[in-house]
Amino acid sequence: MAYNRDSALEVHKDYKETVTNWEYYIRSYNGGYDYTLGQYLNRYNLELDNEFNQRLANTPCDNHCRNVIQIYSSFLFRVKPSRNFESLAEEQSLESFLKDADLEGNNFNSVIKQAQNYASIYGHCFMILDKPNIQTSTRAEELQQDIRPYVSIVTPENVLDWNFKRQPNGKYELDYLKIREEVDKDNGTYMRVWYPDRIDTVYMPEREEPVVIDTADNLIGKIPAVILYNSKSHKRGIGQSDLTDIADLQKAIYNEYSEIEQLIRLSNHPSLVKTNSVNASAGAGAIIEMPEEMEPNLKPYLLQPNGSNLNSIMESIENKVNSINRIAHIGAVRTTKTQVSSGIALQTEFELLNARLSEKADNLEIAEEQLFRLYAQFQNVEFDGEINYPDSFNIRDYASDLMFFQQAKASGVESATLMKEIDKEIARAVVDNDEKLNEIFTEIDTKPEVGSFTQDEPQQEDQEVEEEQI
């Protein structure tokens, strides 16, 4: 296929509609200098450039977006998924792939975790499986040189165009994919364009026509790309970001912090109001020289705000933070002060958070299985295994649980079985290791004294002592 400048620059209609949001989400996640470059600080009316730039430099970003996604990730990957490879386990290159999945030293778990973070930010991300096109005479030589498939993560702003085609079995598969891989020092762009039968590498200079610098056969007859969705939208190939509403709240908080910084600065450094004829300054130890016969209304004075709005701004920020916690269902996890919440309210919040995490886990299972099927195709073997992430993420208020268990043990119910079950729940709240938990459960089940009541035994001993004294 011949490429002209128009076809090389063509992007998907959904890309045009969404790329601005993607930039906003990633800047909101990165925070710091990247957030400053986004120019999310509202400008005052008649504000001079130097005043705005100073305010921009002095305004901190309280990064809620990053924190929310980190919390999700910590729950999702607290327990490693179960990967049963079945026949693929016999493939000798698989171990090397799991240890170094991207040929950059990152193991497969690290790559998947990174992909999930990007999916949370953007709504989805692409994982491309590729294999070096190096000819070897034998399979042993291929293994010796570690020539095998590897995975690359491609974020949505670099996936310029794509197309899905419905297959005879009813499934939709990619039959066209264009990715921006690199921009060189001369602002020329390298792109890779996938088709079911071939892969084109295209270089497009800044002002000249594009050039096809390489064409290779597609070894597996399909585009080796997997889309990891955070949450699916109504558009195929586009996911829903976790930051859709949270980013706007963070931006509002960012602007209110600027108001606070401005109030503090003006309160500590009041503005001097004077006529041109008066020699005066407002610095520490300054001397104000005035004509002896000056009208009272012309005398210089300090304009200093009293900071009465500070409390209302702080309250507004607190309300927005609570809104973020409510949207993300992490209020019980992220709260920084003691809040009175009913047990039912906390349980509801935990269940909503667990449901969101379960959806993410289901999408991870689907993506991983698709990825390993592609890997098997590259190696001319079969993947008939299964990937399983946790269905429940054991999100609980352990402090409240421990108090409840303590009360239950003191209830006086004379049931060794009940006491053992309570002891197991206490162990779950304290120990976060499956192997250790199994050991503890075995000890609880095999030792009859664990969890049983012994209050009557001292009473019997006291009675025997009394009888001996008599």
Mean pLDDT of 450-461: 46
- Rounded to an integer, what distance in angstroms lies between the CA atom of residue 215 and that of residue 206? 22
Residues 156 and 106 in one domain: yes
Stretch 176-205: mean pLDDT, rounded?
Answer: 94
- Whether 122 is in a domain gets the answer yes
Q: Where does 155-224 show beta strands of DSSP type E?
A: 159-166, 172-183, 189-194, 198-204, 211-217
Question: Which tops the pLDDT comparison, 370 or 456?
Answer: 370
More confident residue, 428 or 286: 428
Query: Is position 345 within any domain?
Result: no
Query: Are both 46 and 95 inside the same structural domain?
Result: yes
- Least-confidence region, from 74-78, 167-171, 237-241, 412-416: 412-416
Looking at the fold, whether 17 and 107 belong to one and the same domain comes out as yes
Interacting residues of 425 by C-beta distance below 8 A, sequence separation 6+: 401, 405
Residue 253 pLDDT exceeds 80: yes
Once rounded to an integer, what is the mean pLDDT over residues 25-50? 92
Do both 32 and 118 map to the same domain? yes
| 287-334: pLDDT as tens digits | 455 555 556 666 555 555 565 678 889 999 999 999 999 999 998 787
Q: Looking at per-residue confidence, does 301 or 196 come out higher?
A: 196
128 Cβ contact list (under 8 Å, min separation 6): 151, 152, 154, 179, 224, 225, 226
Same-domain check for residues 57 and 135: yes
Task: Decide if 40 is inside a domain.
Answer: yes
In this prediction, residue 266 carries a pLDDT of 63
pLDDT of residue 340: 47
Mark whether 361 and 445 lie in a shared domain: no
Task: State which residues form the domain around 426.
Answer: 398-457
With respect to residue 282, please indicate whether it lies within any of the assigned structural domains: no
H/E run at residue 158: none
pLDDT of 85: 95
Query: Which of 31-45, 119-133, 431-445 has the least mean pLDDT?
Result: 431-445
Confidence (pLDDT) at 234: 92
Q: How confident is the model at residue 455 (pLDDT cuts 50, 70, 90)?
A: very low
Q: Tell me, what's the pLDDT at 457?
A: 46
Nearest in space to 321 (alpha carbons), one of 304, 339, 305: 339
Range list of β-strands (E), 238-384: 271-273, 301-303
The 3-state DSSP class for residue 124 equals strand
| pLDDT in the model for residue 285 | 47
Q: Is the pLDDT of residue 269 over 80?
A: no
What's residue 27's pLDDT? 97
pLDDT score, position 203: 95
Distance between CA atoms of 145 and 154, rounded to whole angstroms? 26
Both 208 and 241 in a single domain? Answer: yes
Give the confidence band of 143 by pLDDT, cuts at 50, 70, 90. confident
* Range in 12-21, 41-50, 227-236, 366-375 the model is least confident about: 41-50
For residue 290, being part of any structural domain is answered with no
User: Could you report the per-residue pLDDT of 381-394, keeping only the tens digit for each?
Assistant: 999 999 999 988 86
246 vs 270, more confident: 246
Proportion of the chain above pLDDT 90, given as a percent: 55
% of the chain surpassing 70 pLDDT? 81
Instruction: Please check whether residues 29 and 49 belong to one and the same domain.
Output: yes
More confident residue, 395 or 118: 118
Q: Tell me if 341 is assigned to some domain.
A: no
Would you state the structure tokens that stand for residue 312, as one six-digit string?
Answer: 């209302």
Name the domain count of the chain: 2
Q: Are residues 364 and 439 in the same domain?
A: no
The dihedral built from the CA positions of residue 369, 372, 376 and 377, taken in this order, carries a sign that is positive
Residue 113 lies in a domain: yes
Q: Which element (helix H / strand E) includes 26?
A: helix 13-30
Whether 129 is covered by a domain: the verdict is yes
pLDDT tens for 53-73 read: 989 998 999 999 999 999 999
Tell me what pLDDT residue 456 has: 47
Same domain, residue pair 370 and 429: no
End residue of a domain, out of 388, 409, 436: 388
Contact assessment for residue 56 and residue 38, using Cβ atoms and an 8 Å cutoff:
no
Looking at the structure, tell me whether residues 17 and 66 fall in a common domain: yes
